[in-house]
Amino acid sequence: MPISTTNPATGETLQTFEALGAEEIEERLERARTAFEEYRTTGSAERAELLHRAADLLEKERDDIARTLTTEMGKPVTAARAEAAKCVKAMRWYADHAGELLADEHPSAADVEDSGGSTAYVRYRPLGPVLAVMPWNFPLWQVIRFAAPALMAGNTGLLKHASNVPRTALYLEDLFRRAGYPRGCFQTLLIGSDAVEGVLRDDRVAAATLTGSEPAGRSVASVAGDEIKKTVLELGGSDPYLVLPSADVVRAAEVAVTARTQNNGQSCIAAKRFIVHREVYEEFARLFVDGMKALRVGDPMDESTQVGPLAGERGRADLEELVADARERGATVLCGGRRPAAHPAGWFYEPTVLADVTPGMRVHREETFGPVATLYRAADLEEAIAVANDTPFGLSSNVWTRDREEQDRCVRDLRAGGVYFNGMTASHPAMPFGGIKRSGYGRELSGHGIREFCNVTTIWHGTPPDVPTAE
């Protein structure tokens, strides 16, 4: 895949970049290592000051970088600005909280004595340069979600961004440099995916995190496994969205439209499978389809656009194949199911709802990475949960019910990294984010995220012989 900026709204390639050669990669790896040796000795106050400075810069440059995001991957410019603002918030959160999240942990005195020691504690120390292989769908957020905690923990970062967002990738390196981070603390590697293995196998790289598709995750995890290096994987999702009889159905349908189409439908945590209790199915289906039809599809630079183009031609073709397969096997297209006639250039696709979906269809098990929803009718909660869990993925889940017993049942039985009631899944710096099954492993954000790339170190002191004991 060429490293280039191609506008998805027009299909026009605006700039192409040369991938780094072996020597340039070597230089950067060495820089990451030497930078780590210095940076790891800094304290959390110093690190926080740097991260706050980067957050302030990003806040000031929000509108410009938002236009870059929209140009490179097609999200509505309003959503791009919101993404930048979310990054600023997370950076400040980690700058303010990392000290306490990584504070030494002291076991009880009795437990220390039991181990035959006088004092003992746990210290979170950094690991070293961490390679981040990142996707294009939230080109700023995915990187910041890794970089803010990794840098606060004292690691250095090497970013291999998706090949279609090189301007954003270079902006990020420049942002950290201008914020005052020592050279080498955060570097962008403009490389193709074929060069990832070599970087990951290099002894100077301590660990890796990958957000992206299952094949990419499998490939990085197997190389890392071979090298015995820690990884975090944030992969695909096909989140269920359950609507039960006690729900506010009007609100559930309204939120469903946003949950399915945010980021032009290309979000791992987008609700993708809508599983509705038969008592409220007709009402929900009508409201949901009306909402999907009413969306303004168009130029993502236009402030009023709600759904822009898909990020790539291949992505749209994949989506079209999934819809064609469902149609052939008997699904009903309640709306959409085609390219919008009004936008012949670029990679647009109409917001689509498919009903009468059965397990034999590819959409039942595969991720629809675009504005296509599948609708299921469930006889009761039991069946709704069974359909929700009938997926290889386990990222998050959404449930609309006001019934406490049903809520408890969902918390117990839904197999996913999150259960969100009466609202849609969203990430927050203070809450862990990640999945199970084919959605990956490990967690980002919160204390769980920052500790993923730490050396959890036991520090133990024996009773010094010159210290008199109590007796």
User: Any idea which residues carry the catalytic annotation?
Assistant: 234, 268
Residue 188: φ, ψ to 5°: -95, 130
- Of 325 and 383, which CB lies nearer to ligand NAP in the complex structure? 325
Q: In the complex, what is the shortest distance from the CB of residue 72 to ligand NAP, in angstroms, rounded to a whole number?
A: 12
- Of 431 and 456, which CB lies nearer to ligand NAP in the complex structure? 431
Element (H, E) at 122: strand 117-126
- Taking Cα atoms as reference points, which of 229, 176, 157 lies closest to residue 200? 229
Q: Which residues contact 450 (CB under 8 A, 6 or more apart)?
A: 94, 98, 101, 102, 124, 149, 150, 152, 153
Q: In the complex, what is the shortest distance from the CB of residue 414 to ligand NAP, in angstroms, rounded to a whole number?
A: 17
Binding residues for ligand NAP, rule: CB under 6 A, are: 1, 133-137, 142, 160-163, 192-193, 196, 211-213, 216, 219-220, 234-237, 268, 367, 369, 395, 439-440
Q: In the complex, what is the shortest distance from the CB of residue 130 to ligand NAP, in angstroms, rounded to a whole number?
A: 15
Q: In the complex, what is the shortest distance from the CB of residue 216 to ligand NAP, in angstroms, rounded to a whole number?
A: 3
- Taking Cα atoms as reference points, which of 310, 309, 311, 344 lies closest to residue 165? 311
For 157, the token pair is: 């970062």
SS3 call for 130: strand
Distances (CA, A) of 457 to 18, 100, 114, 231, 450: 41, 16, 19, 18, 15
Distances (CA, A) of 131 to 198, 203, 229: 11, 12, 11
- Of 136 and 376, which CB lies nearer to ligand NAP in the complex structure? 136
- Of 133 and 287, which CB lies nearer to ligand NAP in the complex structure? 133
8 A C-beta contact, residue 407 and residue 399 = yes
Residue nearest to ligand NAP (CB): 212
Q: In the complex, what is the shortest distance from the CB of residue 212 to ligand NAP, in angstroms, rounded to a whole number?
A: 3
- Helices 166-178 and 141-152: crossing angle in degrees, nearest 10, is 30
- Of 44 and 68, which CB lies nearer to ligand NAP in the complex structure? 68
How many other β-carbons are positioned within 10 Å of the β-carbon of residue 111?
A: 11
For 318, the token pair is: 């994949």
How many other β-carbons are positioned within 10 Å of the β-carbon of residue 165?
A: 28
Task: Report the DSSP pairing between strands 271-277 and 372-378.
Answer: parallel
Q: In the complex, what is the shortest distance from the CB of residue 3 to ligand NAP, in angstroms, rounded to a whole number?
A: 7
